[in-house]
Amino acid sequence: MLRSFSTLALSGALSMCVASSALAVDLVMVDQKGCHYCEAWMDEIGPAYPKTDEGKYAPLMRRDIGLGAPEGGRYARRVNFTPTFILMEDGTELARIEGYPGEDFFWPILTQLLKDNTSFSADTNKR
């Protein structure tokens, strides 16, 4: 009986580790000082982002263009202008949005990138 409980406990712990590592998705916003489109995103999207399903699933990480990828991470290709939004999982780039197309276009593009590249699913009418 004790052996069965130990095996079950270990199996549960491993499942939790696997589940938590699968959720290591971030949205990296590559920006720079003086970027008007970055400021527009911060004004229009920034306050709501962490409260949305997308923001909870892929928390925002801001990164200056001069610093390169976050520690332990790697971009698939060079970032040439700001803002660039890079969807990363465990330090690997999955997809990106180059530029800020405005509030009406940003949300559907981001939601589709999340659905196409991760296990994300959400009711997009909640916003």
38, part of any domain: yes
**pLDDT tens digits for range 33-65:** 999 999 999 999 999 999 999 999 999 999 999
Whole-number pLDDT of residue 24: 86
List the domain range (segments joined by +) for residue 76: 24-117
59, part of any domain: yes
Per-residue confidence of the chain (127 residues) as pLDDT tens digits? 444 433 334 344 433 333 333 458 999 999 999 999 999 999 999 999 999 999 999 999 999 999 999 999 999 999 999 999 999 999 999 999 999 999 999 999 999 999 999 999 876 544 4
Whole-number pLDDT of residue 12: 43
18, part of any domain: no
pTM value is: 0.79
50, part of any domain: yes
Cβ pair 55, 127 in contact under 8 A: no
* Domain containing residue 99: CATH number: 3.40.30.10
106, part of any domain: yes
54, part of any domain: yes
125, part of any domain: no
Any alpha helices (H) in the chain, and if so which ranges? 2-22, 36-44, 53-57, 103-117
Whole-number pLDDT of residue 122: 74
The domain total for the chain is 1
Residue corresponding to tokens 């712990």: 13
16, part of any domain: no
Q: What 3-state DSSP class applies to 115? A: helix
- Describe the strand order of the beta sheet including 92-98 as a list of residue ranges: 60-64, 25-31, 84-89, 92-98
